[in-house]
Structure 1
Amino acid sequence: MNTLKDKVAVVFAASGEVAGAVARAFAQHGAIVYVTARDLDVARALAEEIVAGGGRAEAGKVDALNEPEIDAYLKKVVADNGKLDMVFNGIGSYYKDAGSGTPTTMATFEQFMNPLQRICGSQFLTSRVAARYMIESGSAGTILLFNASMAKTKTPNMAGFAAACAAIEGLTRVMAAEFGKHGIKSICICSGALMETQKIQGMISDFSALAGIPREEMALNYTRFDLLESGPTLKQLGETAAFLVSENGVAFNSHIVDFDCGKINVL
């Protein structure tokens, strides 16, 4: 359980369930974890939970869409530790703001652009600032991005979100090509629906109401293409992230790692 012993990790958007799971896994494997969010109280609660469990964590207030805040925080982390080993950004988007569930002919330009600016834009900002500090400090680190399998499925009424997910995959490959000469890996976890999360459960409830069908029938749309009887969990996602940033995950670079237990409808 010490595959990340004394590694320095920064997790952005740690108020979300996904980023929280990754932060816990990093800490459980021995990393020093800096958890950040716009809501400092939420970040502090996560850090206190990690410390109470025997891990090492510190909370910070950072807007993952504010480059000066990102830069100032990572500068402090490197100054305190002399290195930066990995970063993870779990930022998401409220589905209504992203036009998810709205036909492409009806979605506004603002809705289409929202996930591109918010989700892909934030990944771009945190990744490139982290790369600068990894290069400056000589850290052979890992930039771990996150998106959803919507990039690889043929799902209607998800134009903006699907475009943002596909863009993150392209960004991952570009950064791997640029930063590899500095020993820096860039990897993207491409997740299927995490059924235990509040976000997915909320979408199921809202979409079933909009479609006028039972909630159970709508929920089947998220699992009907599964190859296994069980889907991925938050804990498994955290463990996957910890593996990818460890020395054991060195073979993964520029890769888009499908995290869905296998889906018939994913390319």
Structure 2
Amino acid sequence: MENLKDKVAVVFAASGQVGGAIARGFAAHGAKVYVTALNLAAVEALAAEIIADGGQAQAGKVDALNEAEIDAYIQQVVADNGRLDMVFNGIGSYYKDAGSGTPTTMATFEQFLHPLQRICGSQFLTSRVAAKYMIQTGSQGTLLQFTASMARSKTPNMAGFAAACAAIEGLTRVMAAEFGQHGIKSICIASGALLETRKIQGMITDFSAALGLPREQVAANYTRFDILKTVPTLKQLGETAAFLVSDNGMVFNSHIVDFDCGKLNIL
């Protein structure tokens, strides 16, 4: 189904597995996708993969923390297409930089601020620049945010990351209220741990070594609150994103959409 046919999308930080999955989902449903990252070679490979699968894609080098670069890139996309229909930012953070796993009494102020500045700050920049051009062109597009379920769980030693996740949820609602008058939607996907990603597998390995516990025992903590005996996949993430930015997805405007198959410990 090409429910995004003739739509134009920009995916920032697309060199990661999350951004790549979203880009593939958009392209599979007919969108023309611009994939960007600091690692140009990675997004060029992603664009080539999308094209080989019959989609439309173009790669560019953009620092998702540099507003001037973001603005210049989106301006060119709009100049080339006359519109911008959706934007997604898959920026992440190395968990040690964010103080994740470190007691709040020991985490530094810089570690606490790191995810707020990097993850939430970057999504603020890409979304507000995209909104500006959507308003100028009357695109009535979708600002698709991404956060983690940490915002609504009770997990120790995650102060900075949990605060950043909650901030992104708040930003989503503010933008929905602010830009709705222009027909622009703001929706947020709140994901649980995506176990197939390198980032989560690396955390499991590190925590296993730090705690002196078997790796299998640490990995089991990620699924012990699952309602269903299944976990979401990156492919499903791409499909979910493609639905949310489609015309049918507008019913979720301003909402935080949990992507976890159901968790007993998430509010």
Band the TM-score falls in, shorter-chain normalisation: over 0.9
Q: Tell me if 1:229 matches 2:229.
A: yes
**What whole-Å deviation, never above 9, does each CA across 1:152-196 have from its counterpart, x for those lacking one?**
100000000000000000000000000000000000000000000
- 1:250 positional shift: 1.6
**What whole-Å deviation, never above 9, does each CA across 1:113-153 have from its counterpart, x for those lacking one?**
00000000000000000000000011010000000000010
- Who is 1:266 aligned against? 266
**What whole-Å deviation, never above 9, does each CA across 1:81-102 have from its counterpart, x for those lacking one?**
0000000001100000000000
Q: Distance in 2 between matches of 1:220 and 1:107?
A: 26
- Who is 1:185 aligned against? 185
Q: Distance in 2 between matches of 1:213 and 1:125?
A: 40
Amino acid at match of 1:167: A
**What whole-Å deviation, never above 9, does each CA across 1:9-53 have from its counterpart, x for those lacking one?**
000000100010000010010000000000111110000000011
Amino acid at match of 1:244: L
- Who is 1:152 aligned against? 152
RMSD: 0.4
- SS of 1:251's equivalent? helix
- 1:248 positional shift: 1.3
- SS of 1:147's equivalent? strand
**What whole-Å deviation, never above 9, does each CA across 1:175-231 have from its counterpart, x for those lacking one?**
000000000000000000000000000000001111111111100110000000001
Q: Distance in 1 between matches of 2:176 and 2:153?
A: 24
Q: Output aligned runs, 1:29-44, within 5 Å.
A: 29-44=29-44
Identity across aligned pairs (percent)? 79
- Who is 1:121 aligned against? 121
Q: TM-score normalized by structure 1?
A: 1.00
Q: Distance in 2 between matches of 1:25 and 1:265?
A: 29
Q: Tell me if 1:143 matches 2:165.
A: no
Q: Distance in 2 between matches of 1:162 and 1:141?
A: 28
- Who is 2:15 aligned against? 15
Runs of 4+ in 1 over 2 A off after TM superposition: none
Q: Distance in 1 between matches of 2:105 and 2:209?
A: 21
- Who is 1:242 aligned against? 242
- SS of 1:144's equivalent? strand
Q: Distance in 2 between matches of 1:232 and 1:84?
A: 29
Amino acid at match of 1:169: E
- Who is 1:84 aligned against? 84
- SS of 2:224's equivalent? coil
Q: Distance in 1 between matches of 2:62 and 2:104?
A: 33
Amino acid at match of 1:115: P
Q: Distance in 2 between matches of 1:175 and 1:5?
A: 25
Q: TM-score normalized by structure 2?
A: 1.00
- 1:244 positional shift: 0.2
Unpaired runs of 5+ residues, structure 1, are none
Q: Distance in 1 between matches of 2:157 and 2:209?
A: 16
- Who is 1:201 aligned against? 201
- SS of 2:33's equivalent? strand
Q: Distance in 2 between matches of 1:250 and 1:125?
A: 22
